[in-house]
Amino acid sequence: MEEDIGKDISKVISKDIRKNIIKNSTIKRAGSRPSKMKKSLWLYIFLIPGILCFLVFNYFPMYGVKIAFMDYSPIKGFADSPWVGLQNFRYLFSTESFYNVFKNSLVLSFLRLICGFPMPIILALMLNELRMKRFKKFSQTVLYVPYFISWVVLGGLIMNLLSPANGPVNNLIEMLGGERIAFLQSETYFRAVLIISDIWKTAGWGTIVYMAAISGIDAQMYEAASIEGAGMLRQMWHITLPTISPTIMVLLILQMGSVVKNGFEQIFMLYSPSVYSVADVFETYTYRMGLMEGRLSFSTAVGLFQSVVGLILVLTTNKVAQKIGEGEGALW
């Protein structure tokens, strides 16, 4: 009997102790949350501009997506404009110009991806191997500067360089015995001009991310590889690239989301009606349909289709990344 009574008492005591522990832990947790908020107050304050930017420019405009399903008139507004359902999309898929624009957008985007995406990686690997600090800083500055110059300025510079009348490039071609070429009016050369100028502007900035990833690699790995007799190229292939592969995969997934987005400024500054057949993309098409011709509902339908295609490509690429790397480098 005494043993049974002792066991019952110990059970009651243990229950009381557990309750007290749970109460104390909940009190500590409740008290720790405000303290953590206070400690990180400035970090939350710094988040406010970014959140507001996303709300104003990304989330609030989603209200206007319904224009794609309406025969919208700025005079009548949202309330009085009639609903037309999928009429704008039916017309979109029935026009021949849409398929030409869709093809141009995909071709230019994949050319940018194939030619432009590896360039920052290659530049970062090359800069990482430079041992002369002054030359390394000079090279980084020269590569980064074009990113901060607007396409308006770069567009004028490219037009002057490639001018068939007195451009330096055509002068050089003529000196070498060739004929002058109207690069910006030629369907053969226009896409190449777009891809090369885009790499020139953006590749240097992309190297910043990869240089930051490379700087986090343990130097002892390179020392061990050099002791084993591995040269510079083998170290790049077996140490640097595998280590930064999650970063490469994340940036690839993000870029896949903009596969059908080629940027408005660059093409608008350089193209002309003579190259519409190879240069007209979704951005320029919606500009002409929406602002020049006033077909706001139709241009909204085009933009919505473009966004849906981008979402599908992001989800697909992320799923492929999960399968290949067992989740490594995937966004979610």
Q: C-alpha distances in angstroms, 191 versus 67, 91, 286?
A: 33, 28, 20
- Average pLDDT on 67-73 reads 86
Arithmetic mean of pLDDT over the chain: 81
Indicate the angle between helix axes 133-144 and 118-128, nearest 10 degrees.
Answer: 160
Indicate the pLDDT class of residue 329, thresholds 50, 70 and 90: low
- Reported as a single tens digit per residue, the pLDDT across 193-232 is 999 999 999 888 888 888 888 888 888 888 888 887 878 8
Phi, psi of 166 (to 5 degrees): -140, 25
> What value does the CA radius of gyration of the chain take, rounded to a whole number of Å?
29
Q: Encode pLDDT of 22-47 as tens digits.
A: 555 444 444 455 667 777 888 888 88
Question: pLDDT confidence of 52, banded at 50, 70, 90?
Answer: very high
Range in 14-18, 45-49, 100-104, 246-250 with the lowest mean pLDDT: 14-18
Q: Give the pair of three-digit tokens for residue 219.
A: 């130097």
Domain extent listing, the chain: 93-325
- Give domain 93-325's CATH superfamily: MetI-like (1.10.3720.10)
Tens of pLDDT along 98-109? 888 888 888 888
**For the range 83-89, what are the long-range contacts, defined as Cβ-Cβ under 8 Å and sequence gap of 24 or more?**
84/297, 88/297, 88/298, 88/300, 88/301, 89/301, 89/305
